[in-house]
Amino acid sequence: MSETAILECDVLVVGGGPAGCWAAWNACANGMKVVLIDKGYVGTSGATAAGNTTTIYTKRGTVEREATVNQRLRLGLGFAEAERIERVLDRTYENLNLLAEWGYDFPSYEDGRPYRGMLRGPDYLRFMRQKLIKARVKVIDHCPVEELLLADGVVAGAVARFRRTEERLEIHAGAVVIATGGCAFLSGAIGTNNLTGDGYLMAAEAGAQLSGMEFSAQYGISPAYSSVTKGVVYFWGTFSDAQGNALESAGDRQSVVAAELLKGPVYAILDKAPPRLQEGFRRGQPNIFVPFDRMGIDPFTERFPITLRHEGTVRGTGGLAIDNRAATTVPGLFAAGDAATRQGMSGATTGGGGPNSSWAMASGSWAGEDAARFARSLGAHARTRPTVAANRHQPSAPTAHGRRDVVDVLATAKQQILPLDRGYFRSTETLEAASANLETLWRDDGWRTARSTKVREAEALIATARWVTASALLRRESRGLQRRSDYPDQSPALVQSIVAGGTDEPWARYAENTSSISRAS
């Protein structure tokens, strides 16, 4: 049994992507002793670190701001909230200006003016890491958090374990921020390999609720031989089947591609992009073209095979339920970025790059501020409260199936979510089958014989898939990322959030108006 190290702080931030970094900065700026911990390396871990990301840089009251808000409301399909969007964009505008004051090297327009609508992921996060270290935030890398700690029902810290030494680390804190990102179900999409829903599971074990998990079936177009799912270039593409026939069916491009992929191979060519735009793409999003260059393919003049890769709640909407800022349904616990539901920002559709990047900045800032305020309210004994582990699950002896390899378990779990005829297009039949299979996996402790990061990730992935499935079954309509072949239309009566929770006994229900619950049950 490895020894346990003890660490105390005012605010613990779990997850070192943009939301976590902004949470740590704002907690520190409010006078808190802050620990920022990540299961990878803060600066290279997560979806943003894998490439460039757009941001929304608009000032309230301008034509540009009005157009942006109206676009988000239209795409939100009844769930986006105008005032929340305005507040997110206000804070993003403030934070981008702050980055400029700190000396971040923004790209420039051709006339030399700084362009603050784009952040280079690796540079951005490295810059934030250095800023935090200089501010005396304690940054801990390669140390996965395993579970939260509770003090009389209030979140009071976490337990982690260093990857290299297996040393157990117990962190006592006045408040905790979950900024662990979303869950892409190990689909292979760029930057998502460590995004397995860990924060969702830890928070749910403490009693937190989730919201919008049915709006999680986000798939990104990518070359068949690549993990890059940046989709902006495909607005200038032509799609075709194996025989070269152009695909012109009604619907958005993802749905057209998904339907055809169920029949056979699909190809794309970026033949609608003029030369000037081609040059702009290569300069602004260079990682899109790395796989093409390696294969010796000019995507602007040659067809190439494509596929759809699941991006789940990383680019979907679902996550931990929060108030109008960042507080979860459990005292002392806050959520930000992809770990928090984005229904108020993006509604029933994907937030893509810019809205999600802006959401991470704003919600991270709010989470840091609110966590600091909560920790301060506890007084001098915030770090010394007696605690218990939130995870009460005790693995039983291996079942009749015997010991199972966790890799096999993960492969089985992924098959319930990733295939297009289960994850992209849903039905009562496929959802109920997935639910039964996921339940069997969860109940079988044969693969939980030893606590490890891989086992914990498998638990989180399966738990997330169960909440997604339960929520998708309950929402008997098609809206945004929820596509039900047996309920193809939108129902005006169902513009209501579905909340979910529970670990051993997962549940989902409509958040308001019990009459709608009975109609959908």
Which among 130, 149, 182 is positioned nearest to 12, based on CA atoms?
A: 149
Strand partners, 236: none
Q: Which tokens go with 258?
A: 């998904």
Edge to edge, the sheet with strand 507-510 lists: 319-320, 210-211, 498-501, 507-510
Query: Does the active-site annotation cover 65?
Result: no
Q: How far is CA 142 from the centre of its chain?
A: 20
> Taking every pair of C-alpha atoms in the chain, what is the biggest distance, in angstroms?
71
Which segments within 43-153 are labelled E, that is strand? 52-54, 118-120, 138-140, 145-151
Note whether 179 and 446 are within 8 A (CB). Answer: no
Strand partners, 178: 14, 335
Please tell me the number of Cα atoms within 13 Å of 134 on its side-chain side: 7
The torsion angles phi and psi of 484, rounded to 5 degrees, stand at -105, 115
Q: What DSSP designation does 494 have?
A: G
Which among 502, 4, 443 is positioned nearest to 208, based on CA atoms?
A: 502
CA pair distance 414, 135, nearest whole angstrom = 41
Specify the pairing of strand 138-140 against strand 333-335: unpaired
- SS3 labels along 320-360: ECCCCCCECCCCCEEECHHHECCHHHHCCCCCCCHHHHHHH
Q: How many C-beta neighbours within 10 Å does residue 60 have?
A: 12
Residues found in the chain: 521
CA pair distance 12, 23, nearest whole angstrom = 10
Catalytic one of 163, 168, 253, 476:
253
SS3 for 507? Answer: strand
Q: How many C-beta neighbours within 10 Å does residue 482 have?
A: 25
Q: Which tokens go with 41?
A: 């390396």
- Listing DSSP states for 421-488 in one string gives IIIISB-HHHHHHHHHHHHHHHH-GGG-SS--HHHHHHHHHHHHHHHHHHHHHH--S-BTTB-BTTB-
Catalytic residues: 253
